[in-house]
Structure 1
Amino acid sequence: MKSDIRIDFTKARSSEMEMHTNSRTLAWPWPGFLLMAIVALPGWLANMPTAGLAQQEEAADLFKRAQVYESEQNYAAAESIYRQVLASDPNNPEALKRLGIVEQTELKFNDSIELFKRVLREHPDYPQVNFFLGLSYYGQHDFNDAIASLEQELKTPTPHPATRYYLALALEAEGRMNDAIGQLNEIAAKNPDNANVLYELARLHMDASFRAIDRLRKLDPDSFQNHALMGELYAEEGHYEAAIGQYQAALRKQPDALGIHSPLGVAYWKLGQLGPAEKELLLALKESPDDPRANLYLGNIALHQQQFSKALPYLKRAEAGKPNDVETQLLLGRCYIGLGELQQAKAVLLHTARLDPAYPRSHYILAQVYQKLNQPADRQRELDLFNKLSSAQKADGSGDPDKELVRPQGSNP
């Protein structure tokens, strides 16, 4: 039951960081969570033999002012101060690090990565820089580099307390589920009542996690995490009305939670309630404009309404996020057919057939394209392939229902 995971970088500087998946917001309740980034400042000042006392005191005052601006979310003012420090001391590691965190919060991942790398070139173990570098790579969906940076952070003398947790999320995003569970188990052993870690364990390895789910419910049966998890479970089992109720309950607990609107919109879609589905999915795009699933279903809604020009940008963003997703490619092919761009449709559907040669529907829609192109021999070939593959799937029960084009209840096949 894999899901997309996002970081709310606007909260990465406070004493409590929040992690967001496609169906929940996870607050990380470490006391003084990111205050370690500030605690490191006196140590930096104490280890600057080349800087004069006056320069150290001036830098300390500037950092304090910048931290006030950050707490007020006035990031432009904080950035200006850090750049002022760097103008007189270009290699100041703390200024580079803090400026990188500001850039990261504003989703300027490339800039933040370059700043963190500048620190690490001179100070490979500088406190928490590998951690924040890993978060920036994560924000770029560069999970391999995120993993490498977070693993390097664990090798430093005082790694950031949440490093192992974020490493687990990066490992999950890379498909290394067993490694992710191993990291979470290490955290759970030291923090047995951490609801967020228990939640992740249950989601990653559902069949083996019933005891973890039970512990989560015992902590608080009316918690945000419990409602979000039950929403996922009900949706996974096809009980969409129950899933909607749980997602709505989760939003009542945390109205500003990221990641709930997308699965809630999908649940409405599954019940054929296209108006509420579109509303929730548009809210999901406000949280994450490139969310592949929200874009996919919004494109699907527009296709269902035969609004092909409206559907195309949604489907292209979904394709950018998941270029080898068969369902996305099929919907994109249908969209091009609706727009009359038959050569584009043919190219997309041929690519789809190569992605999964045993999947029948790509051949059925290709047959439609060839019919419109007046290529009867090609049309017949694709229909024969469709019938052959469909019969094979029915005979051995190998059809994958998750690959069927999603349709709301009550629509025509």
Structure 2
Amino acid sequence: MKRSFFLPAWMLVILTVLSQLGLSQDGSAALMEQGNTAMRRGDTAEAVRDFSGFTQSQPSSAEGFFNLGLALQQAGRLEDSLSAFHKAQSLQPTLRGVSLFAGIVNYKLNRLSDAHKMLLRATQLESKNAAAWMWLGIVELAEDAPDLAVSSLDKAVQLDPNNMDILYHRGRAHLLVSKESYSAMFKLDPDSWRLHEVVGQADAEASRTDSAIHEFSVAVRGAPHEPGLHEELGDMYWMAGKYQEADDAYAEEVKIDPANAIAKYKLGSLRIMQNEVASGMPLLQQALVAAPELNDVHYYLGKGDAALGNEEAAIEQFRMATSEKNDEELRIMSWYQLAMLYRKMHRTQESGEAMAAFRKMKSARELRQLTKFQEQNRRRDQLPVEDSIPADAGATSP
């Protein structure tokens, strides 16, 4: 397994202030201060000399040996560094940071068993230390134990959710566990419908819509009554613009699993889009009763009420669809639909206010640059964009 040998800059710790050591301002204290200063400016050779002098004059100082170990590690003298950490640990077994850095050095020396023991101890001594959990996960990855690494790195993410190093290693661990699971599935049954479902999901995430349709179709043939499969197939048909096929797939999903509120929401929304309002509205209403958190339903209910000429009901639904809880695209389109409805009803002031809200949100969205990662990670209940607002919409007053 390919391994990364690195020590991030944020892991460099200068431990110990003079007050913690209880030292008087004598030569020993001066050496400690000089060593810390040398470390801060990156002069590891000077730091090693200063901390070595300090430990000679203060041989019972665990903190002194720990700082010496840090300096030796930064100087690339890993064996000497490890000896200094072991000495610090023997003098003060619970000294913060010793087990962590001893584990890191053992890892860099390819002594994985010793590294694992030290880092496990570090997590026991400092259960809230994200770095300790991260390094334990890194070692477990190197030991070809991704299942253990997932647990460690998940804990690290909980403690430090915005750390890029932790997120990278955690993602790698989960990927390896997934690969192991899929490999085991293939060995058990290379023609399993589950494998086709997995491949279909991967194709869907990569926007390979036609391939995803093929894989989900094979999976459906292998397990025609499995809940969820027809919904996944319907999603891909919708993305491909094959609306009748999507309708058929969602309808079959609802038949298999009548409690699937999201499938009812998708089928109802699709029918509203296809002007099949009479059959779409009951599905949306049922979905909202079963899952009130599906706030985006209000947009499609608004479209349905507008198509039926229920303008006041449509306005109420579109108003609810502008809630901050809703999908941004649907909120923008809801303001646009409100502006058009108010204009139709000759409610000029309200139409202008709705159009102003639409313009503001549309401009803010256009200023942001969404990454491909964000675009590809859609919520399960997030539908493809129902319709596009003209690029020049709102350019003139209603």
Could you say which TM-score interval applies, normalised by the shorter chain?
A: 0.3 to 0.5
Higher RCO (CA-CA < 8 Å; seq separation 6+): 1
TM-score (norm 2): 0.47
In the superposition, the TM-score normalised over structure 1's length comes to: 0.45
